[in-house]
Structure formats: structure tokens, C-alpha cells
């Protein structure tokens, strides 16, 4: 579709359009709760009125720190309909990590839960300095000083519905929809700014390409704080009229029971999800015939896995995709009729309306089959990093090309294979890990003089962090102490699984740690 003929939409328009198109069709099933598309739109307007009662102004940031529950979606679309900017927080973060994002974004409102996997999120923030945060609202559970979700909604009853409708109508596709924070090589998370129109077009294109349909029952396993669970999850489902079934915490036995009970047809996720289903000893006891569509990525997908997903799990369509937060989550996608070999050995080709190329160090396009940094350009490229014009200028060229920092090889048909990561990033069970961020955290541990982190292979998670530590003079740290401290101070997927101690790091002439030498050490140590 050409830019001239495309009709850009806003988030409130998308939800209202879905209500008109799909009416009483179920939009969300969350446990015993069933919400139709008509009711979802009404819940959006009710939440929007509550946000107006809370004094939300266009451009104000609201944060959500909660697992996948239906209230998450209603809070998000209510705020976004009033011009609020969504800031999702990773549920695995510790208090200091979450506080940094709340501070950097200037979030006025935080929506969270009282307990998830034994963690009380408001309690994690008790000793943090959050001058902009005016109110914590509990989507579920209770916490001292926090407002219950029901009370938040009730406060909106005094706001005329027409006022909320008028505010939503004033939102434009160019207005900011969200700020998702992504870590970088500097070790400090960066806020990625994207708009209503570009996100909606991205996931209209994505959902049409992968074949998501209104009769799909979409099991949303990926967390809502990530673009895979949020944008390729509930946003794409609303665009297509699919039924959403959010998963709060992944449990393989529960998923196997849910597939036949709810006639699940769409399951997304990293390859480990499907490998776990295939390996389950009781898989044969469950009717999995409803499975139709699988979208995977974030790690290599073996040809044999694609074949097993089609032959043994019964998926009609298996596709892979590639993207990053700075591209609204998507750059390239495989097509439904691609061969298992192409799906395994590539991350697809550029989605419609987006350009992609591989370039050398000078920004010149390299020949097909040659390795280069992947650049992309199109409607999906972010508006910039929050309060960071210098980093924005380094990442997006003056003529609109986004430098992804990933190295790949593109074939003559435009299909790209990711071969390396310029930024040293590694992926733990589908989560991006950036060594500099983990290193900065480790260096704040008493007894640590210097820290360096690399990713090492792991059979279950794909890769995990391995830390190299230079002890401070007189310190007597051991591996167990470093791992325990890390568990207490950082998200679990960032925690080093192994720790090695060195008297000094190998450094180059510029004083930088030579991580290639550390990788060689790790390879020699590997069993």
C-alpha cells in the first residue's frame, strides 16, 4: 500500500473501529473474565474519563509495571486515548531499575499490582526518589498509600463521556503513543519514542503478513512490557479482531490444558516455547488440532524445529521475524509460504513499505551475500531517543536510515540472516541483555573493582551472562556471593550464571577490555 493511499489511524480509532466491526465477539478472556469488543471500547472510554479526572494532560507519561492481565490493556488504551504516553516496565526489574525509568520518563502515574511471584512492586519503590510520580494505582491487590483500580475508575464518573470522546478525537497519528526503554552500550536504558500512526501501520502490516485473523484465539505468552507481547500481542489482536488470552506466568502444563479447552490457534514466542511443547512427556494426551499460527524469533530456529512444528504440533503457518524497539518492533518478516530452510536460515525480508540494506563501515551498500551492518528506513523508524538528541543523531541518519547495530547477510531476494551483534548484546531466553548495563550494576557491589560480562551458550536459555571480576584490594568475594548479590539487585535474566575472577583484564591500547580474549577463555573453560 502506497503512502498516498494509506489511511493513518490513532489508537482510540483502532479500538472504536474494532467495536464496530466485531461487536459482541470476545476480545479478551482472562480466567473467568470475558470482555467483548463492544465492552472493551466502553471500558476504554470509562478509563479515559478516569484519566481526565486524574488531571492527565496530552503528553503526560503513565507507567505500567504488571504482568499480563486484562486491566493492563484497559489502563493503556484509556491513557493513550487521552494523549497519555505509555511507559511499560519490565516485571523482572528490581526497585532501582524501575525507579530509573520512572525518573527518566517523568511518569506521573504508575499502575501496578500488589503481588506477582512473591514480589510487591510498590514496596520495591519505597526508598526511591520519584519527584514526578503523583499516584500509584493498584490494578490488583493492595499497597499502603496506593489507590485501588476500582476507586481510580470511579473518580471518572463525574467527567462527561463527551469530554473523553472529544479529547480522543483530537489525537493525531503523529502524536506520541509510547516510550519503551531499551538498554544500550552505555549501560543506561534509552527511551524510544514512537507515535500512534507508525505503530498501528506496523502491526496492520505485520498481522496481515503473518496471517492473524479475527477467528484466531491468541495465547499471548510474551510479556506486555515488551513489543512482542504489547504491539505484536494485544495491539495486533485488536487490529485484526482476534480473541486475546493473556498468560500471566508461563506454565507448560497449564498451556497444554488451555490449548484444547480454549481452542488456541495462535502461539507466539522464542523457539524454546515450541521445543518445550514438543518435549513434553504427556503431549500426546492433549488435542492440539486447533493450533494454526506460530510466530517466532529472538534466537536461531533449526530447520528440524520448523518441520516438527508443522508435522507434530500441527501449525499451518510458522514464520520468523526480526526487529528492534527502535523500529516499533519489526523490520523484516518471513512469508507464510516460505520453506522451512528459509524460515530457519533467515529472519525474513523487509515488511511492505520498509527498506532494508546491509552496509560497510562507510555506509555503502554491500553486495548480496556479503556481511554488513543492517540499516532500515520507513514509517516504522522511531522519532528519536527521549532527551538524547546526540544518541538519536548517531543512530538515525539525516536521510532516515536507522542503524540497527546488528550485522547480517542479505541474499538476492532481500532475505536477511543475522550473523553478529555490533553492540555485544546477547539474548537470554528471548530477553535482550547488554553487557555494559550488567557491568555497571556489578561495579556498584562492594568488593568489585572492575567487571566485564559476555554471553556464553546455554542449552536451555540460548545464552546466559558470564561475569569476569577484578576484586578490590583486600576483598574476598566468591562466585556465590556475586550471584546472590546480582539476584538481589537486577532482573533474573541479567544475573550471571557463572563468575570468574581475574587479577587484571586483557585491555587494548585504548584501554578497552578485549572481550574476544574473554570469549576465548570462556570457550576453553566450557565443558
Burial code (b: 16+ CB inside 10 Å, e: under 16) for 407-421 equals bbbbeeeebbbbeeb
Burial code (b: 16+ CB inside 10 Å, e: under 16) for 341-359 equals ebbbbbbbbbbeebebbbe
- Read off the pTM: 0.85
Q: Is 450 exposed, middle or buried (0-12, 13-18, 19+ CB in 10 A)?
A: middle
Find where cell 543492517 sits. 374
Distance CA(206)–CA(121), nearest Å, equals 33
Question: Does residue 26 contact residue 34 with C-beta atoms inside 8 Å?
Answer: yes
Q: Would you tell me the crossing angle of helices 11-22 and 196-210 to the nearest 10 degrees?
A: 40
Distance CA(405)–CA(190), nearest Å, equals 15
- Structure confidence at residue 420 (pLDDT): 64
Distance CA(343)–CA(10), nearest Å, equals 33
Give alpha helix (H) positions in 241-351.
252-262, 271-279, 303-311, 340-345
- Structure confidence at residue 1 (pLDDT): 52
Closest CA to 202 of 11, 55, 486, 458: 11
Distance CA(41)–CA(103), nearest Å, equals 31
Question: Does residue 261 contact residue 254 with C-beta atoms inside 8 Å?
Answer: no
Find where cell 518478516 sits. 333
pLDDT tens over the chain, length 527 residues: 556 689 999 999 999 999 999 999 999 999 999 999 999 999 999 999 999 999 999 999 999 999 999 999 999 999 999 999 999 999 989 999 999 999 999 999 999 999 898 889 999 999 999 999 999 999 999 999 999 999 999 999 999 999 999 999 999 999 999 999 986 445 678 999 999 999 999 999 999 999 999 999 999 999 999 999 999 999 999 999 999 999 999 899 999 999 999 999 999 988 878 888 998 999 999 999 999 999 987 656 778 888 999 999 999 999 999 999 999 999 999 998 999 889 888 899 999 999 999 999 899 999 999 989 999 999 999 999 999 999 999 999 999 999 998 888 999 999 998 876 666 778 898 887 878 778 878 988 999 888 899 999 988 888 999 999 999 888 999 999 999 999 999 999 999 999 999 998 887 645 568 888 899 999 988 77
Work out whether the CA dihedral 193, 197, 201, 206 comes out positive or negative: positive
- Structure confidence at residue 185 (pLDDT): 46
How many residues would you count in the chain? 527
Question: Does residue 437 contact residue 494 with C-beta atoms inside 8 Å?
Answer: yes
| Distance, first Cα to last Cα, the chain | 52
**Who's near 380: CB < 8 A, 6+ residues apart?**
198, 201, 202, 327, 328, 330, 331, 351, 354
DSSP-derived secondary structure for 201-226: HHHHHHHHHHT--TT-EEEE-S-TTS
Find where cell 504488571 sits. 66
Q: Would you tell me the crossing angle of helices 435-442 and 479-489 to the nearest 10 degrees?
A: 110
Q: Would you tell me the crossing angle of helices 252-262 and 271-279 to the nearest 10 degrees?
A: 90
Find where cell 465477539 sits. 25
55: left (phi over 0), alpha (psi -120 to 50) or beta: left
Closest CA to 224 of 244, 196, 194, 204: 244
Distance CA(419)–CA(288), nearest Å, equals 34
**Who's near 304: CB < 8 A, 6+ residues apart?**
none
Grid cell in block for residue 105: 520518563
Q: Which domains does the chain have, with CATH numbers?
A: 11-194 (3.40.50.980), 250-421 (3.40.50.12780), 427-525 (3.30.300.30)
Report strand pairing: 135-140 vs 147-148.
Answer: parallel
CA distances to 19, 112, 243 from 246, in Å: 19, 16, 10
Question: Does residue 61 contact residue 89 with C-beta atoms inside 8 Å?
Answer: no
CA distances to 7, 76, 121, 183, 515 from 139, in Å: 34, 12, 12, 27, 44
Q: Is 512 exposed, middle or buried (0-12, 13-18, 19+ CB in 10 A)?
A: exposed
Largest Cα–Cα distance of the chain, in whole Å?
A: 69
Amino acid at each position: 500500500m502506497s503512502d498516498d493511499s494509506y489511511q493513518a489511524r490513532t489508537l482510540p480509532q483502532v479500538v472504536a473501529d474494532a467495536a464496530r466491526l466485531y461487536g459482541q465477539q470476545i476480545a479478551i478472556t482472562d480466567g473467568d473474565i470475558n470482555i467483548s469488543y463492544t465492552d472493551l471500547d466502553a471500558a476504554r472510554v470509562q478509563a479515559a474519563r478516569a484519566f481526565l479526572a486524574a488531571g492527565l494532560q496530552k503528553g503526560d507519561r503513565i507507567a505500567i509495571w504488571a504482568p499480563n492481565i486484562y486491566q493492563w490493556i484497559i489502563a493503556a488504551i484509556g491513557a493513550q486515548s487521552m494523549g497519555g504516553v505509555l511507559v511499560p516496565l519490565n516485571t523482572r526489574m528490581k526497585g532501582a531499575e524501575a525507579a530509573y525509568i520512572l525518573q527518566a520518563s517523568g511518569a506521573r502515574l504508575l499502575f501496578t499490582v500488589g503481588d506477582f511471584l512473591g514480589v510487591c512492586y510498590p514496596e520495591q519503590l519505597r526508598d526511591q526518589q520519584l519527584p514526578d510520580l503523583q499516584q500509584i494505582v493498584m490494578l490488583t491487590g493492595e499497597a499502603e498509600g496506593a489507590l485501588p483500580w476500582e476507586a481510580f475508575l470511579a473518580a471518572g464518573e463525574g467527567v462527561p463521556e463527551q469530554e473523553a470522546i472529544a479529547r480522543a478525537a483530537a489525537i493525531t497519528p503523529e502524536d506520541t503513543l509510547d516510550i519503551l526503554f531499551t538498554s544500550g552500550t552505555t549501560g543506561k536504558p534509552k527511551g524510544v519514542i514512537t507515535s500512534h500512526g507508525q505503530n498501528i501501520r506496523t502491526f496492520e502490516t505485520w498481522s496481515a503478513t503473518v496471517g492473524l485473523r479475527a477467528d484466531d484465539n491468541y495465547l499471548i505468552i510474551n510479556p506486555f512490557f515488551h513489543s512482542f507481547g504489547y504491539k505484536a500481542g494485544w495491539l495486533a489482536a485488536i487490529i485484526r479482531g482476534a480473541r486475546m488470552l493473556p498468560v500471566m506466568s508461563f506454565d507448560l502444563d497449564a498451556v497444554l490444558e488451555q490449548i484444547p479447552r480454549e481452542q488456541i490457534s495462535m502461539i507466539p514466542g522464542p523457539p524454546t516455547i515450541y521445543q518445550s511443547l514438543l518435549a513434553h512427556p504427556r503431549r500426546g494426551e492433549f488435542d492440539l488440532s486447533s493450533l494454526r499460527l506460530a510466530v517466532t524469533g529472538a534466537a536461531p530456529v533449526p530447520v528440524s524445529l520448523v518441520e516438527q512444528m508443522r508435522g507434530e504440533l500441527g501449525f499451518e503457518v510458522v514464520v520468523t521475524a526480526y526487529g528492534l524497539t527502535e523500529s516499533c518492533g519489526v523490520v523484516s518478516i518471513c512469508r507464510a509460504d516460505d520453506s522451512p530452510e528459509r524460515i530457519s536460515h533467515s529472519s525474513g525480508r523487509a515488511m511492505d513499505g520498509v527498506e532494508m540494506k546491509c552496509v560497510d563501515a562507510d555506509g555503502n551498500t554491500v553486495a548480496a551475500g556479503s556481511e554488513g551492518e543492517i540499516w532500515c528506513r520507513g514509517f516504522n523508524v522511531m522519532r528519536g531517543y527521549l532527551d538524547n538528541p546526540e544518541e538519536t543523531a548517531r543512530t538515525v541518519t539525516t536521510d532516515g536510515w536507522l542503524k540497527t547495530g546488528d550485522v547480517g547477510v542479505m541474499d538476492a531476494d532481500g532475505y536477511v540472516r543475522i550473523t553478529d551483534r555490533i553492540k555485544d548484546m546477547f539474548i537470554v531466553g528471548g530477553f535482550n541483555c547488554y553487557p555494559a548495563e550488567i557491568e555497571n550494576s556489578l561495579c556498584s557491589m562492594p568488593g568489585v573493582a572492575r567487571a566485564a560480562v559476555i554471553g556464553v551458550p546455554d542449552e536451555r536459555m540460548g545464552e546466559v551472562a558470564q561475569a569476569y571480576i577484578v576484586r578490590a584490594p583486600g576483598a574476598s568475594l566468591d562466585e556465590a556471593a556475586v550471584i546472590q548479590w546480582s539476584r538481589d539487585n537486577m532482573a533474573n535474566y541479567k544475573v550471571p550464571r557463572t563468575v570468574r575472577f581475574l587479577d587484571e583484564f586483557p585491555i587494548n591500547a585504548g584501554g578497552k577490555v578485549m572481550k574476544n580474549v574473554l570469549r576465548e577463555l570462556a570457550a576453553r573453560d566450557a565443558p
